[in-house]
A = this chain, B = another copy of it.
Amino acid sequence: MPTVNIALIGYKFMGRAHSNAYRQVRHFFPGKLEPRMKVICGRDREAVTAAARKLGWEEVETDWRRAVERKDIDVVDISTPGNLHRPMVLAAAHAGKHVVCEKPLANTLADAYEMLRAVERAGVKHMLMHNYRKIPAVAFARKLVQEGRIGTVYHYRGAYLQSWLLDPKFPLLWRLDRKLAGSGALGDIGSHACDLARCLNSEFESVAGQLTTFIKERAYPEAPRQAKRRGRVTVDDDANFLARFRNGSAGVIESSRLCGGRLNYNMFEMYGSRGSLAFNLERMNELQFFDATEAADRRGYRTISVTQAAHPYVGAWWPPGHIIGYEHTFVHAIADFLSALERDRLPEPNFYDGVRNQAVLDAVERSAQSGRWEKVKCPI
């Protein structure tokens, strides 16, 4: 079987999730191309060597540019903090490699657009890892929307709520530094909410946003117990916005890292002329569906266990009722990516989505500054 050689940059949370996807994909999703876990890349040789062994990579590199330029590499997978996405994507495109990139694509809209242009010019395939599109329940929701089962959408609610910043002793990690992370709740988890809204409902037309940093100072991670070594949190920890979508629907999007008891509460509700849908990542194998066309005395939200062979991606796994977990979404994404390579198609979502998502986040940031509704200005 022809192989496609992968170089992965990053070996923390996302690096682990991507590695698992490459390891598992062909055991569940057959295909013509075999991914080969060629090289994993990180600055700390000892740590990356241990990661290679644990995660199943053949070789290590400590200089990402070397990994990107290796002749034997076909795909560069970027699982690093957001500020490194741009140089890595540009280098990979320049070297003619296909690219898989973690979200958000970039820390600014201009960077995102430049990165899109680079992969376009290079003619390489590009995928953006908005993995939640790959949840069977989400893909099935999209199918129901496309079938017209909820009719014309009037009202869309998206929220991604977490709680990990609730502890004031949580240290000042890179995700809380604007220079490294670009933005806070908005870019990290609000970007997922944007992507789902675009995937399920419509492109955004305009937004009115509100960004807040409630906990403004934290201890540096090296020395969390020394009260004096504290620094400023330079990103939002709570980000909300109203939206008008191109299809005319009204939208409300929330994202926060200060919502106690919400561990990974990425949810949406869609209300249309013929029905409604509701989903929550913490119960990611379920989809709520309300069919407004049924008789008034016997309709109601039904909980669909999206674990049937007829549901997207599910046939590859286990019998009905046997749920899958978080990391499976990455397996689905890589299966789709490999399938796109095989068929010489562009995988989805891709850098076009990255630019469009970034244009929404950009408008939210402008609105939070200007205090008014702002149009989404997308260069594509």
Contact = CB atoms under 8 A, between A and B. Distances in A.
Contacts of A244: 210
B238 A250 contact: yes
Contacts of A282: 285, 305, 321, 323
Interface residues of A, number: 93
A303 interface: yes
Interface string A221-240: 00000000000000000101
A238 B19 CA distance: 43
Interface stretch (A103-111, A307-315, A349-357): A307-315
Contact of A325 (B13, B269, B322, B372): B322
A276 B259 contact: yes
B261 A290 contact: yes
A300 B325 CA distance: 20
B208 A210 contact: yes
Contacts of A298: 144, 289, 302, 304
Contacts of A299: 261, 302, 304
Closest 5 pairs (CB-CB, A-B): A263-B321, A264-B321, A261-B290, A325-B325, A302-B302
8 contacts: A154-B212, A155-B254, A155-B258, A209-B242, A252-B252, A260-B292, A262-B321, A295-B310
